[in-house]
Amino acid sequence: MSAPTTTSPPAEDMSHRQILEALSGLLLVLFVALLSSTVVSTALPKIIGALEGSQTQYTWVVTATLLTATATTPIWGKLADLFSKKLLVQIAIVIFVLGSVIAGFSQTAGQLIAARAFQGIGVGGLQALVQVVIAAMIPPRERGRYNGYLGGVMALATVGGPLLGGLIVDTSWLGWRWCFFVGVPFAVIALILLQLTLHVHTVRRENVKIDYLGAGLIAAGVSILLIWVSFVDGTFAWLSWPTYTMVGGALALLALAVVVEKRAAEPVVPLEIVRERTTALSIIASLAVGMAMFGGAVFLGQYFQIGRGYSPTEAGLLTIPLMAGVLLSSIIVGRIITRTGQIKPYIIAGLVVLFAGFALLGTIDHETSLAFVGFGMLLVGLGVGASMQNLVLAVQNTVPLRNIGAASSTVAFFRSMGGAIGVSVLGAVLARRVTDQITHDLAAAGFPASGDGGGSLNVGALPDAVQHIVRAAYGDATGHIFLISAAIAVLGLVATIFLPRTTLRTSLDLPAQEPVKN
């Protein structure tokens, strides 16, 4: 049994202006977190080339952040149900800033991956806590409109990030290290804004017991599983003793975590929430959306630069259709949801459009028309904008306010895990196909293949004839991973079809909610 809960007084309704003032710092925090990933997307080929890294390390610069963000998200969410949400957001920002500075001073690809892993702890907190704080201020029915602002910030960061990253690495007096330093001043401004504008009521609880054992088991199990996904079929075979050891160990840890969570007074992931139909289906859909969206989109910058030969700045400009889709659908769909109170039809429509976009991108190669590629990216963006944030909203609508943190972070946890798995799996598939094709084409052209199949990311240093072979290999292999993303999107679509049709509530807490003592 947990300690008695001091029930908070009913939350007073906030005016639109008060909400916007409080959102200013939160939206800037979200912008900083998204910028940390998107600003690197177009710069990564040059960063890994400068650090003499490999395709595997290219993938891990992204995966490391997703992995630690995934592992820590449920912990941040649970802490938000127990302690000051405002303080936790500020702590997450500090961790993020330290990770950014360390990443900027990295001397090797290994150091950069480690710094990005530390940075991911802060990113995990920001991703979870922004949603939690917004849910504590705004009723679900009205939250649809404000999700439009979230979508706008998401689009701004994801459009501006690649452009900014490209400009930074293309500017000789700045250099790629500023891709990591650039977010620091934004984070400092966010800290100041949050201190001045964010005032969220904190429920004071005595003798709180945090389930550190459960949190540790979940983090360890997920981490081992993601590490296995990254190296299987490359470093070792699917059926081999490392596979048996890592998968068996990860499953054993996660099974033990379920046992611990059942008995814990304050579980990190409350099982009664996960078992609820809406939450369970939203988790499956979020897992699929995360795998498809993160796994597919992260390689677009590589496709445009290595597969098509564009500069980082040009690659950033070419991704604008993807982000324009996110901006349009998140704002428009958010306002429609607020007006109607219905959410399921728009999530389903989003997954259908997401699938269509990835299906089109699955046909591209190194010579495909840029207009065709842009249209496919636009559809993917429209699908993401209509589904990603609204899956979290669907779950938030079903739980009492006291469990908002755990519920929101659980969905974010599985979405991030799906993203990490997607990046790892699709990165491994891409690396294998690129290596095989380059080795074959070099041999056919009479060139000696290097030990890695010629798959160096420093393409500009290669002879012209070899450059053409490498670019064709990357361009052609990218279409294959988008086909896999389309298949994954179908899983999310099936899950959303079975979501119960509900009307979003207009109150912060569930109607007639009685104080509950666990």
pLDDT in tens, 113-164: 999 989 989 988 887 788 778 877 777 667 666 766 776 676 677 667 777 8
Kindly list the domain boundaries of the chain, sorted by start residue.
16-200+266-497, 211-265
Tokens of 167: 């400009």
Three-state secondary structure readout of 189-247: HHHHHHHHHCCCCCCCECCCCCCHHHHHHHHHHHHHHHHHHHHECCCECCCCHHHHHHH
269 close to 77: Cβ distance less than 8 angstroms: no
In this prediction, residue 353 has a pLDDT band, given cuts at 50, 70 and 90, of very high
Predicted pLDDT at 203: 57
Predicted pLDDT at 205: 54
> Among the residues of 362-463, which ranges form H helices?
370-396, 404-445
**Can you list the positions of beta strands (E) in 53-191?**
none
| Interval 214-266: pLDDT, tens | 878 887 887 788 778 767 766 777 788 988 999 999 999 989 988 988 887 77
Cα 443 from Cα 439, distance rounded (Å)? 6
Tokens of 92: 């997450």
In this prediction, residue 10 has a pLDDT band, given cuts at 50, 70 and 90, of very low
b/e code 250-272 from CB counts within 10 Å (16+ = b): beebbebbeebbeebebbbbbee
Predicted pLDDT at 452: 46
More confident residue, 111 or 72: 111
| Interval 50-60: pLDDT, tens | 887 776 777 78
In this prediction, residue 435 has a pLDDT band, given cuts at 50, 70 and 90, of confident
pLDDT at position 515 over 50: no
| Interval 477-508: pLDDT, tens | 888 888 888 888 898 899 889 988 877 766 65
238: amino acid identity, one letter: W
More confident residue, 83 or 461: 83
Question: Across all residues in the chain, what is the average pLDDT?
Answer: 78
Tell me the helices (H) and strands (E) count for the chain, helix number first.
19, 0
Tokens of 8: 């908070």
> Which residues neighbour 79 within 8 Å (Cβ) at sequence distance 6 or greater?
88, 210, 405
Q: What is the pTM of this model?
A: 0.74
147: amino acid identity, one letter: N
Cα 407 from Cα 258, distance rounded (Å)? 16
Residue 130: name the closest of 185, 71, 81, 85 by CA.
85
Neighbours of 429 (CB within 10 A): 16
The helix/strand/coil state of 490 is helix
Residue 220: name the closest of 349, 118, 71, 335 by CA.
71
Class of domain 16-200+266-497: mainly alpha
Predicted pLDDT at 123: 86
More confident residue, 17 or 6: 17
More confident residue, 31 or 373: 373
Cα 353 from Cα 387, distance rounded (Å)? 10
More confident residue, 408 or 168: 168
